[in-house]
Structure 1
């Protein structure tokens, strides 16, 4: 068994690299806010090699020998679990323990989160109250507040609403919601302070949004292409009209010149002397 936890709650089977390519295997998806921390658990505690995507091994433990790629970022716990500190966007991606895919992590920014259904999300409680920690939920800003659970100083947790499948886990540092559902969308409060606004989307909604964006881009590209073609057509028409006007003027000039030459020849034949020809021409 391989456990995935921010507070070491809940376990799931790991996925090998070969299985990860199979469509029937569900990769555990985790979403946690920036600057938060996570603990990924691996069942094989004696010898472990943790790797992150294409970065290779980031932490390993073989007997008493422990090594890190970045000890400020990662820490191996005594049971082989990997503690990831101060989450940043660069920490997103797939994590493997001994070639088994443990989780695909998404790092969230801000307080408004859009997350796919089926994901596990971690919501930290940032309050100074040391005696209790109480989480509440509002479907909309104007809706009635629903209390989820209360964590007391002695680590006792009191659940305050139905949770038949145990999807909500309350730890000392955060509220974990596993297998997100559409009805989980809304405002989450800890000790009456707003912590996060969740918008849960399905794959269908995500695909539709992507198709809408693609269609908008296609329409814009087509409009630009059609506009360019119209401009070229208009330019060609204007050029053609100019050529017709020029050729028409040239033909008229040639005709007038021919008429003048014919008149001159006629006068030359009918005049007896050059002086008469000049006088006749000037009179014209």
Structure 2
């Protein structure tokens, strides 16, 4: 029995960037996700995951049949006819780097349900606010998966209103931020819009959760630089760069073919 999936998009992907052959994907737990090989492959494909220095084979598929290499009684993993890997009802433990025939294919981050996603550009400034339900300490600590965040340089921590401010943002600042041990925000820092260098911008982020009204953030966008007097051919106005986010829920339909 093989799965046939009909939908405009299988995974409700919150963030996706391309860096050479590796795709960086951010999803929330309990959502499904579809992971593709970096390139078309012939013959059998073995999918594996690396996390914390440990690499484990998940399954091998030839496009018609799956051979599981791990205990999977709830059918958490499957594949499609093009040998893509499907993971249903994502769990935090599914985070890691995924390999297609030992070639790095996807860096997957699974966020706790309800985690807010905030996208901004490098060199800007952002202020993150500690979740209101964090208690037990008058001075909750800020941290990432790499460890506790220390104040200094570009980092400013306020104990008055429990905020974290990061100036001159860099792509390396991307990640899940915790306050008092609880997820506060997933920050995604992207490089400057390529359109500012005369190239077409292709980065898209879909954010299903509304930005909290209480967030105190600072965000500035630069206007495209064009030769003086150049106008937009259609509207007769100068072209400006804007960043938009959408909130659309894709439809997932699964049919079983016997």
Q: Quick check: TM above 0.5?
A: no
Larger Rg: 1
Higher helix share: 1
TM-score range (shorter-chain normalised) is 0.3 to 0.5
Instruction: Output the TM-score relative to the length of structure 1.
Output: 0.37
